[in-house]
C-alpha cells in the first residue's frame, strides 16, 4: 500500500490504495472518511486562522485551520457529497511549549483545538473520533481503503479505530 505523508500545512483528499500519515504536536489534523464512497482526506494545520485575509496569496494557505477547512469543504462538494456523510476525526493540539513562558506560546494547541471544533461544527460535520490536548506528540494514519484510523501518542501502543 502506498503512503502519503502530510507535512505541516499539508492537505490531501481523494481515494485509492493509500494511507495518509502525519505527525502532530501543537498542530491539529482533521480527518474525513466517507464509508459509502470510500473517499477521504486529511489536513494538518498549524494555526487557527489566516490573519492576512483578503490577500490572494494566503487564501489557499492550508497552514491555517480556516483555509484548510474551506479547501476540504470544496473537495467534498466536488465529490458530490455533503458533510453529514463523513466520519470525522480531530487530533492533536498538544501543549508542546510547556517550558517556554506562557505568554509566548499562548497555548497554540488549545487555540488550534478550539478552531477545529468551531469549524467542524460550522461546516455541519460531526466528530466521531478525537484525541486532543495533553503534552505528547501524535502520529495519525488514515487508511483510505477502509477508513481505519491509527493513533499513536508519544511512544504508547498504537490505537486502532475501525471505520463506523
The pLDDT value recorded for residue 86 is 97
The pLDDT value recorded for residue 58 is 59
The pLDDT value recorded for residue 132 is 96
At 116, which helix (H) or strand (E)?
A: helix 108-122
- Backbone φ and ψ for 142, nearest 5 degrees, come out as -110, 120
Helices (H), 54-107: 65-78, 102-105
In the predicted model, residues of the chain with pLDDT beneath 50 are: none
At 23, which helix (H) or strand (E)?
A: strand 18-24
The pLDDT value recorded for residue 164 is 75
| Residue closest to 52 by CA, chosen among 38, 63, 40, 36 | 63
The pLDDT value recorded for residue 3 is 95
Instruction: Report the Cα 11 to chain-centroid distance in Å.
Output: 8
The pLDDT value recorded for residue 96 is 77
The pLDDT value recorded for residue 97 is 67
Intra-chain end-to-end CA distance of the chain, in Å: 22
The whole-model pTM stands at 0.91
| Residue closest to 21 by CA, chosen among 7, 38, 40 | 7
The pLDDT value recorded for residue 75 is 96
What domains sit in the chain, N to C, each tagged with a CATH number?
A: 2-161 (3.30.1330.200)
Amino acid at each position: 500500500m502506498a503512503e502519503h505523508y502530510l507535512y505541516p500545512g499539508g492537505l490531501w483528499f481523494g481515494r485509492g490504495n493509500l494511507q495518509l500519515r502525519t505527525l502532530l504536536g501543537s498542530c491539529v489534523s482533521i480527518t474525513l472518511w466517507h464509508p459509502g464512497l470510500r473517499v477521504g482526506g486529511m489536513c494538518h494545520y498549524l494555526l487557527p486562522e489566516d490573519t492576512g485575509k483578503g490577500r490572494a496569496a494566503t487564501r489557499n494557505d492550508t497552514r491555517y485551520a480556516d483555509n484548510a477547512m474551506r479547501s476540504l469543504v470544496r473537495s467534498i462538494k466536488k465529490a458530490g457529497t455533503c458533510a453529514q456523510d463523513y466520519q470525522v476525526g480531530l487530533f492533536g493540539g498538544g501543549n508542546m511549549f510547556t517550558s517556554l513562558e506562557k505568554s509566548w506560546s499562548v497555548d497554540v494547541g488549545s487555540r488550534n483545538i478550539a478552531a477545529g471544533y468551531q469549524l467542524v461544527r460550522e461546516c455541519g460535520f460531526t466528530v466521531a473520533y478525537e484525541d486532543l490536548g495533553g503534552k505528547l506528540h501524535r502520529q495519525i494514519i488514515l487508511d483510505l481503503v477502509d477508513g481505519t484510523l491509527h493513533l499513536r501518542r508519544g511512544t504508547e501502543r498504537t490505537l486502532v479505530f475501525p471505520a463506523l
